[in-house]
């Protein structure tokens, strides 16, 4: 049985709001992603963003391979008013707790119990706008409502104070610090700050996200 057949819910999907459209990532997005990533690379101190067409092609191809295995749902981030490609984000690291059909926690064949939202980067011109807030709202709503997950995880470099504060503002709870667990975007050994939002915390988190969108 293929991964897609075993996990029928993990399929490409388009998520749309007023500020942003998240559409399934394809190789056709590469050229525009290269342009978006080149706007101001000084803004990517803590975030890995491919530099140049060859690196971007490799990055997109790797994401699509994960998607074919139902291990990720990668998006191109589109500025809704203009249709311009301004970055990328994805769902990945799906969690399956293996409930038997007799369990009250069983939600159906291939239904995920948790997921991580990450691999997010934006063109410099789209940073500090409503784009990322709306994208997070769209993705978390899909995870909690459509997939009915019990937890959404968000990770960031421990040193990225701005990202950590943004996650906490929308209700993310710090689960802990994974020390020296991966290479940082700056070439250093990185500690990862790991946050989560539980299903019963989603109403408050959604309220915070919608409030931030309303203030834009």
pLDDT in tens, 132-163: 999 999 999 999 999 999 999 999 999 999 89
| Mean pLDDT value of segment 65-81 | 97
Residue 106 included in any domain: no
pLDDT category at 97 given cuts 50, 70, 90 is very high
Report the CATH number at residue 189.
3.40.630.30
**Model pLDDT, residue 2:** 47
Using CA atoms, how far residue 159 sits from 49, 116, 182, in Å, is: 17, 20, 13
Establish if 10 belongs to a structural domain: yes
In the block, residue with structure tokens 């989560």: 196
**Separation CA 122–CA 166 (nearest Å):** 15
Count of domains observed in the chain:
1
What is residue 68's predicted lDDT score, i.e. its pLDDT? 95
How many angstroms separate the CA atoms of 113 and 150, rounded?
5
**Domain-embedded: residue 108:** no
Question: Is position 103 within any domain?
Answer: no
Residue 110 lies in a domain: no
Residue 149 lies in a domain: yes
Q: According to the model, what pLDDT value does residue 215 have?
A: 63
Asked whether residue 29 is assigned to any structural domain, the reply reads yes
- For position 87, what pLDDT does the model report? 98
pLDDT above 50 (res 185)? yes
Range of the domain at 173: 3-97+115-214
Residue 1: pLDDT band with limits 50, 70, 90: very low
Residue 104 lies in a domain: no
Whether residue 3 is predicted with pLDDT greater than 60 in this model: the reply is no
Average pLDDT of the chain, as a whole number? 93
């Amino acid at each position: 049985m293929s991964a897609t057949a075993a996990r029928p819910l993990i399929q490409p999907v388009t998520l749309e709001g007023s500020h942003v459209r998240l559409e399934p990532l394809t190789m056709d997005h590469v050229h525009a992603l290269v342009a978006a990533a080149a706007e101001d690379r000084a803004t990517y101190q803590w975030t890995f963003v491919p530099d140049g067409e060859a690196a971007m092609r490799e990055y997109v191809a790797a994401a699509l391979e994960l998607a074919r295995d139902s291990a990720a749902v990668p998006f191109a981030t589109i500025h809704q008013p203009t249709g311009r490609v301004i970055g990328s984000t994805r769902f990945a690291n799906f969690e399956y707790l293996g409930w038997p059909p007799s369990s009250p926690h069983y939600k159906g064949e291939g239904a995920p119990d948790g997921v991580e939202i990450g691999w997010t980067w934006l063109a410099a011109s789209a940073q500090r706008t409503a784009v990322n807030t709306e994208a997070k709202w769209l993705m978390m709503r899909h995870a909690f409502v459509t997939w009915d997950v019990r937890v959404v995880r968000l990770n960031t470099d421990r040193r990225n104070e701005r990202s950590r504060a943004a996650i906490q503002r929308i209700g993310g709870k710090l689960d802990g610090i994974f020390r020296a667990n991966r290479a940082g975007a700056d070439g250093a050994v990185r500690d990862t700050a790991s946050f989560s939002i539980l299903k019963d915390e989603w109403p408050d988190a959604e309220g915070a996200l919608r409030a931030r969108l309303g203030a834009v």
